[in-house]
Structure 1
Amino acid sequence: MSKSKKRQEMYELLDFPKVKAWRTLMHAYSQIYRYLESELLKENCSISRFQIFFYLYFHGPMSSIELAQNLNVTRGNVSTFIRRLSEDSLVEINAAEGRGGKQLIEISNKGKMLFESFFPEHIKRVTAVMPEISSKSLKALSEIKVDF
């Protein structure tokens, strides 16, 4: 099989409707992520820092393992961020009662105030850039589960 024929076959794979949808989602994610990240950096907040604030603010105290799982990063990455946030008094680390001595990370009052200062503007930016997506499409996207 010639290289040009093989290449043509590869391009044809891109025409599958689900592949087009996936590529469109990845492109949109990339564009939105870069825009929101650049805006958060103006607030002196990285996306990683924002995500940690988000989970701790809306989901309450959690262990570094739980936080790493929610963020889909390693515990080492979380530990580095938590240490910095703790040094800035933006989170508190407390022993968890009844959890075998595990430590729970909690957003501090200072961290809450900081998060509350930029979160409403962040949501304005999100709503400005995001298109309307039907409930049916949102449900289908939220139900994607891949075992690996």
Structure 2
Amino acid sequence: MNFLPTLRDLVIVYQAFERYSAPNIKALGLTMTQFDVIATLGNQPPMTCKELGEKTLVTKGTLTGVLERLELKGVIFREANSGDGRSQLIALTKEGQQLFEKVFPEHLDFLNQAFSKLSNEENVEIQHALKKLNSIF
């Protein structure tokens, strides 16, 4: 059970990141989940709900409600998928793309304030460690 300290540190880091990141996203007028969806759809071709779910950190059950709310706000639209009649394609509206172009760089600048405290070598080292950890699951 020598992995327990690693597991604990991983959870602590994730929670710290959430505490740091969430207030900035809230100040931009979004929830973390809405930001995740908008950031994933930004500058991308329309994608199915399944593809969107695979590319975000959002569960299918949560994603449905978030998409409904974003659609009501005029941020996304859905259209029939001509390649698969059982699914819909989801994309940002013009207003949604403008929102993405505003909030995404602002949030990246905010995150850069923290990540810039790491050297390039430290960033690479962390990336390798996280990829290795991910590969075991």
Shorter-chain-normalised TM-score: which range? Answer: 0.7 to 0.9
Aligned match of 1:88:
73
Equivalents in 2 of 1:58, 1:37: separation in Å?
Answer: 23
Q: Give the aligned CA root-mean-square deviation in angstroms.
A: 2.1
CA distance in 1, matches of 2:20, 2:125: 27
Instruction: State the distance in 2 between where 1:142 and 1:61 align.
Output: 28
Largest Rg, 1 or 2: 1
Pairs within 5 Å for 1:71-82: 71-82=56-67
> 1:146 Cα deviation (Å)?
4.4
Tell me, which stretches of 5 or more residues in structure 2 are unaligned? none
Q: How far has the Cα of 1:28 moved from its partner?
A: 1.9
TM-score by length of 2: 0.81
Does residue 145 of the first structure (1) align with residue 130 of the second (2)?
Answer: no
Q: In the TM superposition, what are the counterparts of 1:17-28 in structure 2 within 5 Å?
A: 18-28=3-13
Change (3 A) 1:90 1:134: closer
Question: Which letter does structure 2 place at the counterpart of 1:137?
Answer: I
Higher RCO structure, 1 or 2 (CA under 8 Å, sep 6+): 2
Counterparts of 1:59 and 1:20, CA distance in 2: 39
Partner residue in 2 for 1:49: 34
TM-score, with structure 1 as normaliser: 0.76
- Which blocks of at least 5 consecutive residues in structure 1 are unaligned? 1-12
Give the percent of matched residue pairs that are identical in Structure 1 and Structure 2: 24
The runs of at least 4 aligned residues of structure 1 exceeding 4 Å deviation read none
Offset, 1:65: 2.0
